[in-house]
Structure 1
């Protein structure tokens, strides 16, 4: 029989939004719209606090029908693990527009979403807003891989809002930051030659303030010609963001050493740091002595000294080795930047100094930087592993090193094996067994959820470093807020104990070795330009744009997740699985 919705209370009508029948949910909303808004609205907002997935979409639809935008409910929908729910939330955000707090920020976040459907909706939503700054949403969408549907949405947004954003851009009022691909795509959709000519004239006219001048300079660096770099340098004192934007360009043919030398003396530390980093990237060896002077200076800012040590390695030679070995310090006060610089000059010596430091330091941040640096250099991992094996490192320190290493998210087999041996705690030892999976599922049904949550959130398990539950945790791996309702129990057990066996779509890690010896790890994305590889950083730090001709080797790694859970006792695993099984998004 059909439910009697007309005489139902507001709470009963809200509960009817959970009904499996679409008719019931629709009629419940229609009846609610006919009730007093003063009664329905607070009840709906309270009900939404425990709603998830489709239920949350239903209450958002109700708020739309009532014409009562609500930022908090919308944010919960935009944080859903279901890409369909997030896409719908973005569409609603576009309709509610400026009545939503920080609407541009919400859309920019959606424009970086892993799922193409959400990014497409972000582009379409941005076209509905009059603010010139919403073009940054479209630019962010263009930073990510695009299919024909996103291309259509992007083109519509760019042209529909052109009369708002283009004049603002030409006045230097829009800062595209590091959205180089996005800005290129935007200007490619309009008469870019005419626009860039206007930018050049305005940049040299002294008719704009300093902030606008730097915004225009960054735009010219991102999409201009090589001659435009000289124009930008001639502006004089550049800010850090503009200097860093130049790192995406190849070293120009004209001499830039004097420009960078003057920038190293800036009163703003971040500008000087950026200048040293650019000198290292472009191999401007004329700044080598400047780097030594700043690295040695006890009066220099610590951040500047660190940048100088790294630059010494990039610009130096064999004579640099003893200098950096001294600067690297001891276990009590290590300087990871000196080790990173030393890696550029002599990997073997860097490995010796690093092993000496790692043998005793308790500074986890320094440990992570050093281990990550060796994982990021071709041949660095095996050299460090060999030196660590020569040291007498106790198991307590070995466990510290292993925990920090797992937390970095890097995958480097030699380092992993060396730290397992030192800690006396090999992470992977269980062989896959379907009968064991069934037993662990049964044990998880009887485990203690509360103890499992404590274990999940502990530094020992390290789960929270990569996985998000609700508003807590990292974004390296899949969100687990509703894993118990969306993933079968046997698969949860398998993916926790043997993560490399079944890798979730979009989380298959790749390792790219560059011709200059750098090693990058991340998730390969489809690129429209066959000359470029797009590698999404596994830690969420953005997209690496890599020229295919600069790659010497590309190899799949599989799962980023280490089989850390295999080191837990059976009782601990029972509790951990009990907690994961209980996560149903409520």
Structure 2
């Protein structure tokens, strides 16, 4: 279960971590390494050896609960039943069945019959499973993710062995076996959540139509209605693996890299994703490196300071991590604490964690020196198919929790357990009530509710637990819903708002309910209202969403609002255009159209502008919106009425660039007044527009503005950029005069950029001269200006070869090129020539890799390697950090390399340092776009759709958006880590660097 999230990887060490994606390569047996993905088997795989390897919080102790001697092998996950038994899902087939071999993975039931802390009874509940990756107990059996199928198996004769099997749904993607549907978890209201990974493309036929989920995301099933919802990219990583719900139903999701995300804002069913390719906008924290599963501590047996903390299974770091949540606006944030358990044993792979019925913490240990299947052959002989362990962590000196006999309770007794102080008891009681006949469960729950005292300080939480019983049976309890909607505790109101969204098709007034909560004083309730409104597929639902989230700056609300606008677009847009939908609040209309407008809504904006009662500020905002959505006629109106408003002129410029908006017939006349406005910002925006529209009659004026040193810097900058748009000999002559050291840095860089478009040799000559004189900060702007032109690198290389460049200056240039991920051979050669270094890179061979690896282990010096890592010319810290070593920049960051040796065998680490193109993680290839006007943009793909493509620029860390109609060439592939970064190192320094990197595993870093 491997996937590495690399937020901004590039240059030489970037692919050290990203090499995780490579297909099976041989592991060199000489390595004495302990890399976490492909390790050599321990000589001693005994329980005693593992116990010896553990370092645990001194207040805790760990003992074995069950192991392979009972038939446990490679446990993936486990779940508890009301009897207090532990159900464990094991696979012998992963990562791939042998040809002709029948699938026979199993669910086993473990029981500790004498309560001594060790399982002593085992039953095979289900077998014949095909690489299942998740299950949940419910409705008299188990829901299982069985490759492409979601199945439900039951025991019909009470012998604890499944004898009935039903395929609930089929068509789930199976593009990668560790990304199949997984992590099954029940919500407080009886919804079954599960997820799928990056390479899964699902098409599932349901009674409600075909449900589609491309790539990674989460599923939500309401079993009794067979209602399935898909939510794209909800985890902030390529392989989501783990759900958890807070005390009031707050949903969280764990990716299988290091991140944890707020799930609620993503529970909007739409193909549109505003959080980028990886969907990471809702991240709230995480572990240092890859991990999985979330368990929230609620146990009187555990230490007091553990209560409410998140427990994470650190399968990659071989630890059990701990994080502490706190409220952050409408969502949460996490503080990373010290792990409660770490291990030095190669095979320790915690993959699940759960508080048990006795209050202890149980850990599923996959037990394998090899994980995943990108790093080693499917048939690698070191894959362990024989071992698997369940560990039990207890607190010293604290009594175990009393185990309730839930399996023996009737409906009334179970309803009373909804008030139990422990989460485990309440959850199990609700699951038992869900399994009981609807009439019995709901009647008993209602009777319990009727007996609650109004003065009970926990009344509202008890009502919250109770409504989940009605939800699980799809029984509408309006009176209970109203009580919670009007609760004093905002968390009760928030959850009730979610329920109202779920029940909307069976309520008489769902939008009225949600409308009131959209005005709630608490931001969490308003967030729930936005998400709930997205489920009510009616035109007026957008009014609710807009009232709750239109002008809220909270990142969780903003994300949910953007998603909801798109999710409801097929309903509100036609109604708006036909006049059947009216926004009473113009601000709300503006917010909606800003998120999802389109040219066809311009008429609605025109009508609003014509309203004589409209406040001035709103009218100005509508003009800006009309500039974004309107046509050439609208541009004429805008220039006539709002040509002194910088925001409006800026919006017009955006439309010219994005939509190729043409100038109105009187554009020259209307812009003339704006270009002479006393407000410099107005003049700057008007000049920019004149340049984009190529109004040549302004050229002389623009030349004057660009060269007048008494003009404000923003006006001169706009004029310089406009000259590049207008072109011609006069523009070239003016830009030639501006591309000199005496001009301000911004004007100088803009002049270089403009010359690069109009006269590349002149731009290259000026650039080469300036690079020898400007300071280190300005040097980057000069390089960026010329290198964004197609063939700019070659032109600059030629100019540098004709310019005297000092070695120190060449070092600065090389450092910038390294950090920018530039691998232009001629340019790098020219810079290296100035450095006095022309060192050829060695040719790859497996023998050379083995030699370097052996020498690094035998002769490498870790302490000196750390120093090499920090050398400016090596550029490691230009993009990467290690705990204790800060990166050299704050704007561009590659992956934290604190645990690089935890993910790479040493042979792959050597390859990644010397030949980065051999190891490229999918999703982190370089993306390069050449536009029709000769601009070049390179970086990491951020997002792409039919209209535009966005790239995260490696030098600025900013998102650059290019309209697809303007793209001449789009290439994807190759590393962004320049080759030859180690060419400046001596052989000894190279060995030291490799040795140092091989020690980075998360803890005990060399100083």
User: Is TM more than 0.5 here?
Assistant: yes
Distance 1:410 1:268, change over 3 A: farther
* Residue 12, structure 1, aligned to residue 99, structure 2: no
Q: Identify the match of residue 242 of structure 1 among 622, 641, 651.
A: 651
Shift of 1:176: 6.2
Alignment of 1:330-349 (within 5 A): 330=741, 335-349=748-762
Mapped to 2, the partners of 1:348 and 1:510 lie a distance apart of 26
Mapped to 2, the partners of 1:55 and 1:212 lie a distance apart of 57
Shift of 1:505: 0.9
Deviations 1:529-557 (A, max 9, x none): 3xx56242343422523334x44444456
Mapped to 2, the partners of 1:349 and 1:507 lie a distance apart of 35
- Do 1:127 and 1:156's aligned partners in 2 also have CA atoms closer than 8 Å? no
Q: Which residue of 2 aligns with 1:221?
A: 627
What SS class does the counterpart of residue 982 from structure 2 fall into? helix
Distance 1:319 1:207, change over 3 A: same
Q: Which residue of 1 aligns with 2:779?
A: 367
- Do 1:264 and 1:276's aligned partners in 2 also have CA atoms closer than 8 Å? yes
Q: Which residue of 1 aligns with 2:165?
A: none
Structure 2 segments unaligned to the other structure (5+ residues)? 1-46, 48-55, 68-73, 87-116, 118-293, 339-350, 353-490, 499-517, 529-543, 576-580
* Residue 288, structure 1, aligned to residue 706, structure 2: no
What SS class does the counterpart of residue 343 from structure 1 fall into? helix
Distance 1:41 1:545, change over 3 A: same
Deviations 1:207-258 (A, max 9, x none): 5556544544444333444433334333232234535533323142414334
Q: Which residue of 2 aligns with 1:560?
A: 976
Alignment of 1:31-70 (within 5 A): 32-35=297-300, 39-41=304-306, 44=309, 59=322
TM-score normalised over the length of structure 2: 0.43
Shift of 1:363: 1.6
Mapped to 2, the partners of 1:75 and 1:426 lie a distance apart of 48
Shift of 1:560: 1.4
Shift of 1:497: 1.5
- Do 1:509 and 1:558's aligned partners in 2 also have CA atoms closer than 8 Å? yes
* Residue 545, structure 1, aligned to residue 962, structure 2: yes
Q: Identify the match of residue 536 of structure 1 among 939, 951, 957.
A: 951
Deviations 1:176-198 (A, max 9, x none): 69x97x524xx7xxxx96x6544
Alignment of 1:442-461 (within 5 A): 442-445=854-857, 447=860, 449=862, 451-461=864-874
Mapped to 2, the partners of 1:75 and 1:9 lie a distance apart of 12
Mapped to 1, the partners of 2:855 and 2:935 lie a distance apart of 45
Q: Which residue of 2 aligns with 1:317?
A: 728
Deviations 1:305-329 (A, max 9, x none): 2332232232242133343323222
- Do 1:173 and 1:212's aligned partners in 2 also have CA atoms closer than 8 Å? no
- Do 1:468 and 1:474's aligned partners in 2 also have CA atoms closer than 8 Å? no
Shift of 1:265: 4.9
Mapped to 1, the partners of 2:758 and 2:792 lie a distance apart of 12
Mapped to 2, the partners of 1:504 and 1:429 lie a distance apart of 22
What SS class does the counterpart of residue 558 from structure 1 fall into? coil
Q: How many residues were matched structurally? A: 513
Which deviates further from its counterpart, 407-416 or 330-339? 330-339
What SS class does the counterpart of residue 34 from structure 1 fall into? coil
- Do 1:375 and 1:411's aligned partners in 2 also have CA atoms closer than 8 Å? no
Mapped to 1, the partners of 2:828 and 2:523 lie a distance apart of 43
Deviations 1:116-170 (A, max 9, x none): xxxxxxxxxx99995344674257669xxxxxxxxxx96279989x99xx98895
Q: Which residue of 1 aligns with 2:138?
A: none
Structure scoring higher RCO (CA < 8 A, sep ≥ 6) equals 2
Q: Which residue of 2 aligns with 1:301?
A: 712
Mapped to 1, the partners of 2:795 and 2:941 lie a distance apart of 27
Q: Which residue of 2 aligns with 1:149?
A: none
Distance 1:34 1:519, change over 3 A: closer
* Residue 73, structure 1, aligned to residue 353, structure 2: no
Mapped to 1, the partners of 2:302 and 2:683 lie a distance apart of 58
Deviations 1:280-321 (A, max 9, x none): 333232332232222222222234323322322322421333
What SS class does the counterpart of residue 72 from structure 1 fall into? strand
- Do 2:549 and 2:561's aligned partners in 1 also have CA atoms closer than 8 Å? no
* Residue 137, structure 1, aligned to residue 559, structure 2: yes
- Do 1:409 and 1:560's aligned partners in 2 also have CA atoms closer than 8 Å? yes
Distance 1:264 1:454, change over 3 A: farther
Mapped to 1, the partners of 2:566 and 2:320 lie a distance apart of 25
Alignment of 1:91-110 (within 5 A): none
Shift of 1:393: 2.5
Q: Which residue of 2 aligns with 1:466?
A: 879
Alignment of 1:99-498 (within 5 A): 130-132=548-550, 133=552, 136-137=558-559, 155=567, 171-173=586-588, 183-184=596-597, 196-205=602-611, 207-209=613-615, 212-233=618-639, 234-240=641-647, 242-246=651-655, 247-254=657-664, 255-265=666-676, 269-330=680-741, 335-358=748-771, 360-426=772-838, 429-445=841-857, 447=860, 449=862, 451-467=864-880, 477-478=894-895, 480-498=897-915
What SS class does the counterpart of residue 507 from structure 1 fall into? coil
Mapped to 2, the partners of 1:140 and 1:578 lie a distance apart of 48
Q: Which residue of 2 aligns with 1:110?
A: none
Shift of 1:375: 1.9
Distance 1:410 1:139, change over 3 A: farther
TM-score normalised over the length of structure 1: 0.69
- Do 1:291 and 1:311's aligned partners in 2 also have CA atoms closer than 8 Å? yes
- Do 2:632 and 2:661's aligned partners in 1 also have CA atoms closer than 8 Å? no
Shift of 1:41: 4.2
What SS class does the counterpart of residue 567 from structure 1 fall into? coil
Distance 1:325 1:422, change over 3 A: same
Deviations 1:511-536 (A, max 9, x none): 3333322223244678553xx56242
Tell me which structure has the larger Cα radius of gyration. Answer: 2
Distance 1:44 1:139, change over 3 A: closer
Q: Identify the match of residue 520 of structure 1 among 924, 929, 937.
A: 937
Mapped to 1, the partners of 2:971 and 2:963 lie a distance apart of 15
- Do 2:707 and 2:734's aligned partners in 1 also have CA atoms closer than 8 Å? no
What SS class does the counterpart of residue 963 from structure 2 fall into? strand
Distance 1:511 1:51, change over 3 A: closer
Structure 1 segments unaligned to the other structure (5+ residues)? 2-7, 77-83, 86-92, 108-125, 143-152
- Do 2:902 and 2:1001's aligned partners in 1 also have CA atoms closer than 8 Å? yes
Q: Which residue of 2 aligns with 1:123?
A: none
Distance 1:30 1:235, change over 3 A: closer
- Do 2:632 and 2:662's aligned partners in 1 also have CA atoms closer than 8 Å? yes
What SS class does the counterpart of residue 73 from structure 1 fall into? strand
Shift of 1:562: 0.8
CA RMSD of aligned residues (A): 5.3
Mapped to 2, the partners of 1:465 and 1:424 lie a distance apart of 22
Larger fraction in helix: 1
Distance 1:561 1:353, change over 3 A: same
Distance 1:541 1:75, change over 3 A: farther
Q: Which residue of 2 aligns with 1:146?
A: none
Mapped to 2, the partners of 1:44 and 1:30 lie a distance apart of 8
